[in-house]
Every structure is written in structure tokens, then in C-alpha cells.
């Protein structure tokens, strides 16, 4: 029996597109996505500040869009921040969606700006879908990315660094795709069903 991350890791990436969300983005616009509870510890305000910086410096068309999937106590404040930066048509708060697994195929980048994290299921699912991650170096995220993807980590609370990391990834498509494939392989290797079963066996037999 497989969990959702293991099943997704076996699925060919970019096979489906999220309905509704794609219509909100201009054709071929790069999509930066994040999925999680809209809580202060997730620092979505920093993410929106970084996105405003990215958009202001982006000269090409179409410009990137930001899709935040989730709900929580920060929703109203984040909506106001989006309005304040004039990003109503560029940043979308979708609320909770039942088709979250379809949305990873929409994203060119998956991002987290958290002050603190455990092991993010959203990050694991995005990586297993072959999406290049750019996340803050907190909690379990560095271990999830591993040495192979440590260059995709940024410091928490640094909107300028996050914007620069996004721009670097979006402007270098070949490396972004390579890192997406690396992310997918890493989830299969480090977090797949066989690996997790073996880890539990070592715990129960006292080998770990």
C-alpha cells in the first residue's frame, strides 16, 4: 500500500493542469506556487514582499504570477498586502482546494518562506511531481532537499534573497528542469515506501 507521495513520485510529471488557476495566469507566464496554512509562522507576508520585488524588476513579458493555495488566520491581511502592492492580477489566494495534487503540475517553482517548518508534505509532494523547490533553510526543509539541492535554500525573513532565488531559477530553465528532476529522484530515493519501511524496521529491530 502506497501513500500519496509515493504514488505521485511514480507519476510522470506535468501530466495535468489545475483547472481555474491556469485561467488566472497569462499564457506561458511563469508560475510560483505555494501550498499551506495561511499562518504567521509561514511568513507569507515575506513571500508577497519578495514577489513585489521580483515583479518590479522583471522586464520581460509575461511577468511571473504567484498562486497561494490554502486558508487560515492570515488570509485577510495577506489579501490587503496584495492590494497594497498592486498585485491583484498577479497574485492569487485560492483558498483550500480539493484538487491540490493537480496544482503541482501548474507550478514552475514551489516555494516556502516559513520561519519554522517540520517536514512539509507540500514540499515533498511538489518535489515528487518534479517541481523545482525554493524554500527557506529552516526545520526539516534542508534535509528534504539534501546536498544536491542546497543551492535552492534561502535564509528566512529575507525577501530580497527570495526574489533573487526565484529570478535565478526562472531565468535558467535548463537548470530549473534539472533540479526538478533531481527533486523527484530524491523523494523516490529518500522518502519512498521502501526507504520508509526499511527505516521503521531498523527502529523496531534496534539497529538504528
**Chain segment 37-74, per-residue pLDDT in tens:** 999 999 999 999 999 999 999 999 999 999 999 999 99
pLDDT at 52: 99
Residue 27: band (very low, low, confident or very high) from pLDDT cuts 50, 70, 90: low
3-state helix, strand, coil in the chain (%, to 5): 50, 15, 35
Structural domain span for residue 70? 4-204
pLDDT at 173: 97
Question: CB within 8 A of 197, min separation 6: which ones?
Answer: none
pLDDT at 206: 58
- For 9-17, the CB contacts below 8 A with 24+ separation are 9/128, 9/184, 9/187, 9/188, 9/192, 10/188, 11/129, 13/105, 13/129, 13/130, 13/131, 13/180, 13/184, 14/105, 14/129, 14/130, 15/105, 16/102, 16/105, 17/102, 17/105, 17/106
Instruction: Tell me the percentage of the chain whose pLDDT exceeds 70.
Output: 79
Q: Which CATH number characterizes residue 53's domain?
A: 3.40.50.2000
pLDDT at 204: 52
Q: Is the peptide bond before 37 cis (omega within 30 degrees of 0)?
A: no
Tens digit of each residue's pLDDT (9 = 90 or more) over 131-181: 999 999 999 999 999 999 999 999 999 999 999 999 999 999 999 999 999
Structurally, the chain folds into a number of domains equal to 1
Pairwise CA distance, residues 178 & 29, whole Å? 20
Average pLDDT over all residues of the chain: 86
pLDDT at 76: 98
Check pLDDT > 90 for residue 82. yes
Instruction: Tell me the percentage of the chain whose pLDDT exceeds 90.
Output: 75
CB of 129 within 8 A of CB of 11? yes
pLDDT at 3: 46
Residue 21: band (very low, low, confident or very high) from pLDDT cuts 50, 70, 90: low
**Strand order, beta sheet including 109-112:** 91-95, 65-69, 31-35, 109-112, 132-136, 153-154
pLDDT at 190: 85
Amino acid at each position: 500500500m502506497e501513500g500519496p507521495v509515493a504514488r505521485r513520485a511514480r507519476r510522470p510529471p506535468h501530466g495535468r493542469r489545475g483547472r481555474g488557476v491556469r485561467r488566472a495566469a497569462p499564457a506561458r507566464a511563469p508560475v510560483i506556487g505555494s501550498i499551506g496554512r495561511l499562518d504567521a509562522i509561514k511568513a507569507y507576508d515575506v513571500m508577497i514582499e519578495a514577489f513585489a520585488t521580483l515583479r518590479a524588476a522583471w522586464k520581460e513579458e509575461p511577468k511571473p504570477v504567484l498562486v497561494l493555495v490554502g486558508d487560515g488566520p492570515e488570509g485577510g491581511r495577506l489579501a490587503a498586502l496584495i492590494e497594497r502592492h498592486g498585485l491583484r492580477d498577479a497574485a492569487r489566494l485560492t483558498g483550500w482546494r480539493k484538487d491540490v495534487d493537480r496544482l503541482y503540475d501548474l507550478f514552475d517553482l514551489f516555494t516556502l518562506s516559513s520561519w519554522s517548518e517540520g517536514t512539509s508534505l507540500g514540499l515533498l509532494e511538489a518535489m515528487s511531481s518534479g517541481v523545482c523547490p525554493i524554500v527557506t533553510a529552516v526545520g526539516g526543509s534542508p534535509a528534504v532537499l539534501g546536498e544536491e539541492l542546497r543551492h535552492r535554500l534561502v535564509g528566512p525573513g529575507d525577501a530580497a534573497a527570495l526574489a533573487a532565488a526565484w529570478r535565478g531559477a526562472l531565468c535558467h530553465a535548463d537548470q530549473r528542469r534539472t533540479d526538478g528532476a533531481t527533486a523527484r529522484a530524491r523523494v523516490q530515493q529518500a522518502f519512498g515506501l521502501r526507504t520508509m519501511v526499511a527505516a521503521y524496521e531498523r527502529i523496531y529491530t534496534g539497529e538504528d
